[in-house]
Structure 1
Amino acid sequence: MKTGLPTPEQVAYVRKQLGTSENDIRVAILVIRKWLKMQPHLPQNIDDARLERMYINCKCSLERVKTSVDAYFSLKNRYPELLMNRNPREIIGVCKKFITMFPMPRLTDSCLRVSVTTNICENPDDYDPLVMSKAILLWSELMLREDYSLGDIMILDMKNVQAGHVLKTGIGLLRGLEMIYRGAYCRRIKAMHFVNAPKVMDMIMTLVRAALPEKIRKRVMTHLPGSNTLFDHLPRSMVPNELGGTGGPAEELAEDHRERYWPLVDWFMEQDQFVSNESMRPHNMTCGMENGFSVDGSFKKLCID
């Protein structure tokens, strides 16, 4: 079961939902490239495919795309531990020892991308939240190259999660991950489902509330062990077998997804060259590291939607 790319029909559906067209996109890319050439602190090395997906993920807002392009290159300075030295073979090789993560191979009928996190190791000592975060951002980079969707639905299997896992995951790491996920990769979280909610779910939700914006917090749902409430929101075909769905075996889905990285190992490593030069940033253009980026110098939050 190979991970499928969006079909031409799905691409057309996404564009229709956003009220854009092929011509609109081509014009938008030209405008963004003209703006990019006027930014002495930013590399020019970003292809049209990534710019198009930023435009789609930002709901066709040119100003938000500019903000995200700035973040895409500038956040590498802020979070080098997450965005630099990313060898997929090393990151994924370590990550798969303690957790299984993958996107479902098909989009939902409304062109949302479902991603699954499951099989977390029982021993918190074997759990590495930094490596897991780097793997999530590898996926985000891959989606920026290949995906075409209207947002993300996350399924997180909490079956083996203990207090030790939660305590090992620092709030600073989660906030950085959230900033990069939304700001640099323009991903929009439509729903977050915690399944097999454990006894420490209150502790988990405290961490979630501290790390995520209020709008996303309202999209978080928990499902008790043995319940079928997840399927009030998703068809079983969009959920792996192990979680009660019919979407296929989790490990097979994960391995199919891992194979997509191997031809891109050199490309991922080459991206370390393309980082903003903050010493050349125009004086009237402030980089709001903690509160999102703004092309006009203000410290504004990026919208989720």
Structure 2
Amino acid sequence: MGKLQVADVENEYKKFPDLKREDVQKIREWMEKQPHLPKISDLEIILFLHSNYHRVESTKATIDAFYTCRTHAPELFSDRDMMSNELKNIMSLIVIVPLSIPTQDKYTVIYGKVINSDSTHFSFESALKFLTMIADVVQRESGAVHGYTFVLDMEGVTMGHVTKLSISTVKKFLHFLQEAMPVRLKGLHLTNVVPFIDKILMLIKPFMKKELLDILHLHSTAESLYPFVQKECLTNELGGKAGSLMELRGRYYQRLMEVKDYFLDEEKTRRVDEGKRPGKPKTAGEIFGVEGNFRKLDID
């Protein structure tokens, strides 16, 4: 069984001169005084520091938010077993892969697409869980990068998929993305947008901060995507040079299977212990807001 090929810490310092060893040590010393937080590697600290543009205090807040979110949103961060029927099912319905060619701004592209338009067995929660698993592997194997751009190709998305969305899950994931995910997010692009995109935006916009809305772009065709994500960066099917989508899917999903033990270990060792948190323990309601009895989106 393969192991995660984590990025070399020394190389991280060479890639980004603004990254300081003393800042990593400051975070390390702070974490030692936070009994509720898990033990993490220097590389993980570097990822958090880099995502916060090396600001120590905001890095501390992101670290706490990251592991707290993972503890209190089990539908997104628990049962991450690559051998489970849940994940096998979602992998048969969607493709999410990192593309090998960065943009001209040196941003890594994560590309996602539905490959089965039948939404009968589609789970929005499972899709987002799968996305976070891919993000974990990409970050740890690539190390810090200049930025990430997400491209969601909406070809094949139906109203059936939209009705599977739940307000609760949208709220939790967007909170994680905006407050806790250790990435420099530079673009969120929806291409081949569907006619009912307004209904989707109606659901998600209330939970999006201005900074995220500012990098959200809608494209009716791939052509208007090219100024942000150049054509050559995309898959062969979109006229690019990144390779065939299904071949990329096969190779990357095999990679995820090779490192499946990482996900099992992460779930056991990278969570907060609320019983040890200084002060008052946090709850899901406090973190994500009162959930109430949210139902699936009901659209006429």
The TM-score bracket by the shorter chain reads: 0.7 to 0.9
Contact 2:98 2:138 in 1 (8 A): no
| Structure 1 residues 14 and 207: alpha-carbon distance in aligned structure 2, compared to 1, 3 A threshold | farther
- The CA deviation at 1:204 is 1.9
Inter-partner Cα distance in structure 1 for 2:6 and 2:267: 26
TM-score, normalization by structure 2? 0.83
Match of 1:55 among 49, 53, 63: 49
Cα distance between partner residues in 2 of 1:59 and 1:257: 29
Give the RMSD, CA atoms, in angstroms. 2.7
Q: 2:59 aligns with which of 60, 65, 74?
A: 65
Cα deviation code 1:245-275 (max 9, x no counterpart): 2321111122222233233222211222232
Segment of structure 1 superposing worse, 276-285 or 209-218: 276-285
| Residue 248 (structure 1) aligns with | 243
Deviation at 1:149, TM superposition (A): 1.1
Letter matched to residue 252 of structure 1: E
Q: Residue 74 of structure 2 is aligned with which of 80, 92, 101?
A: 80
* Unaligned stretches of 5+ residues in structure 2: 290-300
State the partner residue of 1:111: 106
Q: Distance in 1 between matches of 2:154 and 2:163?
A: 15
Could you list the runs of 5+ residues in structure 1 that have no partner in the other structure?
Answer: 292-305
Count of residue pairs brought into register by the alignment = 279
Q: Greater shift after overlay, 119-128 or 50-59? A: 119-128
Between the aligned partners of 2:49 and 2:95, the Cα distance in structure 1 is 30
Aligned partner letter, 2:60: K
* 1:118/1:158 contact within 8 Å kept: yes
Is 1:215 the equivalent of 2:211? yes
Aligned to 1:153: 149
> 1:240: how far off?
0.9
- Shift in Å at residue 35 of structure 1? 0.5
1:93 to 65, 80, 88: 88
The CA deviation string for residues 122-151 of structure 1, in whole angstroms up to 9 with x for no partner, is 122131111101101101211331232122
34-43 or 265-274, which deviates more: 265-274
CA contact (8 A) 1:141 1:185 kept: no
1:135 alignment partner, one of 130, 135, 147: 130
Say whether the 8 Å CA contact 1:115–1:155 is kept in structure 2. yes
Shift of 1:200: 1.0
State whether residues 193 and 222 of structure 1, in contact with CA within 8 Å, keep that contact through their aligned partners in structure 2.
Answer: yes
The normalised TM-score by structure 1 is: 0.82
State the distance in 1 between where 2:203 and 2:140 align. Answer: 31
